[in-house]
Structure 1
């Protein structure tokens, strides 16, 4: 087992991740990084009750009729988790039919051979083995999703066991009624997947996403920070990859925000296949928290790394910065300062208002 794998197994066994943020807003009107989510979650649509067959489009008729029926089906956007070419678990915002039993539908889209595969960008793959069947029951009073897979679930490729558990857990816990997940296979509790021991219920804070251990950290005395780096597929298209990095323990909110930003500047691990989101020569001058806004004060190197095409369409570097800081602080937006100055322009366009967290990550 190589050094990186050994470190990951050690921290899984010895560390308990703390990902909780604190609610931190600005009176300024924020600039959106991406178009807002126009599909609001309809709480009348049940998570765990399959849609009635009478509501499904007829399977008879011409291809034209089938296509017309499909185009008339209401959809909603969900964040689903897939594997990229480097083996990272990556969130993808994908439109799925808006049906009752949407939690089960989400996992169906993440199954090899399922409807989600043909929508994926080049280099991405589904996480659940082919022919895997699933049923989901939500216990709302416990905020628990009980997931029962067919025996095919255990056909997970060796080395991908934890990745599959991460993908399932993060997908289901995006719903307001779910904070934890219990998995059974044909009705029997899952205690291990391959050689990976499974401790249930599964939660985001005990799994992390693409977990790694900082060189300075000691297992058991760590704080988890989520960093967004960039991946590139075979077509040359970039996307964002969240990495949970365990760093030396820090509890004070401002200190955590500062450490988080410095880790983002440090960049991904060598040989990870990921690229830095910010220049490693960039200096972080200060980070401050004001209500629901993170104020990041950076030096002039920040400007040379940005490209701004339209006032509301910003580079992956800036999107990565906003995602990273909001996810680790609980803030809703980020104000960027350069050498303490707010009136920043990039390519002649102003960057003087707070930037809100994108509604979706890696939309397709």
Structure 2
């Protein structure tokens, strides 16, 4: 192995120690609307020692939940928090309350992240309709007090936060007891149930034909003010292909574009040979000439692949093959001999 390859692998492994908690996440698009099944016994999670229920109390009165907050670069990112639930308080409702600017929970948010919902907004009601996998949230009139430039970001944050809840894939937004057909400031249409197909942190690849474009969601990394790395999802418009999952990993390898303050999670010398789907498992075949048998691969790279593939396919498990084999471990000593399942919560940052 060349000195360059040793250096680039060590640099990637050391650059990220991304905090990540296990159990699944919401889905990305309409074809991905099937529920993610719990992993069977021969399926491993990408991290260990974490309760598998997203709403299970972690200590008396505590609940683990995902919020989508604005980072200091103006990008939305999922943040895992632990917070106490009041009597009859729902995790989804509490998550939205924590996303209100100036809320009493501001000191529970990590440094460098800010709430996206307008100051004074009250969550009047949150109803979950299980058979429709639908969350209906009713905001107070203060919800309309935002700048037009923030409208899409607010829709994305609400949609992605609520679809992080178990069995929620669709979202409807109401205000003062009435369903909204358009958002109140810049009239973004919300008359149809919102899904993760709305995207997040939208961008366009270079040279795409918008008339035939498709979207893929990728997970890159950024640094908090405390130099803690965290994942940032980016929905990128790309030219349509017959294998969108493979395109997603190719785009992940190509890295961030433009002036976004994001970091690559895969070095460009890794090649994606193929991505296939069977039942509830998506398999990706990678070629990495820098890899030596018995050497751990960077955990952050592999976790980003798992997040990106499950987001774009709706499948809950990923089998990663490296140079034709799967008998390898990552730098967290996680084995990839069997399919690994998607985590529910990521970015457990210091508050």
TM-score bucket of the superposed structures, by smaller chain: 0.7 to 0.9
CA-to-aligned-CA distance 1:149-186 (integer Å, 9 cap, x gap): 23322222452211111111222233356443333333
Separation (CA, whole Å) in 1 of partners of 2:256 and 2:124: 37
Separation (CA, whole Å) in 1 of partners of 2:136 and 2:78: 22
Q: Identify the residue that residue 74 of structure 2 maps to in structure 1.
A: 87
Q: Identify the residue that residue 24 of structure 2 maps to in structure 1.
A: none
Separation (CA, whole Å) in 1 of partners of 2:134 and 2:334: 45
Stretches of structure 1 that go unaligned for 5 or more consecutive residues are: 1-16, 44-70
Question: Residues 19 and 87 from structure 1, CA distance in 2 versus in 1: closer, same or farther, beyond 3 angstroms?
Answer: farther
- Give the count of matched residue pairs: 313
Give the RMSD, CA atoms, in angstroms: 3.5
SS at match of 1:131: coil
Q: Identify the residue that residue 38 of structure 1 maps to in structure 2.
A: 51
Match status 1:225 vs 2:209: no
Counterpart selection for 1:337 from 321, 331, 339: 321
Separation (CA, whole Å) in 1 of partners of 2:331 and 2:201: 35
Question: Residues 279 and 19 from structure 1, CA distance in 2 versus in 1: closer, same or farther, beyond 3 angstroms?
Answer: farther
Counterpart selection for 1:134 from 123, 134, 138: 123
Separation (CA, whole Å) in 1 of partners of 2:231 and 2:267: 16
Separation (CA, whole Å) in 2 of partners of 1:159 and 1:342: 46
Match status 1:359 vs 2:351: no
Match status 1:272 vs 2:260: yes
Q: Identify the residue that residue 225 of structure 2 maps to in structure 1.
A: 234
Separation (CA, whole Å) in 2 of partners of 1:256 and 1:25: 24
CA shift, 1:303, in A, is 4.1
CA-to-aligned-CA distance 1:95-150 (integer Å, 9 cap, x gap): 23344241322211111222442122221111112222121242626554333323
**Contact 1:144-1:180 within 8 A present in 2 as well:** yes
Stretches of structure 2 that go unaligned for 5 or more consecutive residues are: 1-27
Which protein is bigger by CA-based radius of gyration? 1
Q: Identify the residue that residue 182 of structure 1 maps to in structure 2.
A: 172
CA-to-aligned-CA distance 1:10-31 (integer Å, 9 cap, x gap): xxxxxxx945237899998344
Q: Identify the residue that residue 122 of structure 1 maps to in structure 2.
A: 111
Separation (CA, whole Å) in 2 of partners of 1:145 and 1:93: 20
Query: Which one is further off, 103-112 or 145-154?
Result: 145-154
Match status 1:112 vs 2:101: yes
CA shift, 1:88, in A, is 1.1
SS at match of 2:114: coil
Question: Residues 41 and 323 from structure 1, CA distance in 2 versus in 1: closer, same or farther, beyond 3 angstroms?
Answer: closer
**Contact 1:25-1:291 within 8 A present in 2 as well:** no
Separation (CA, whole Å) in 2 of partners of 1:184 and 1:343: 50
Q: TM-score normalised to the size of structure 1? A: 0.73
**Contact 2:55-2:63 within 8 A present in 1 as well:** no
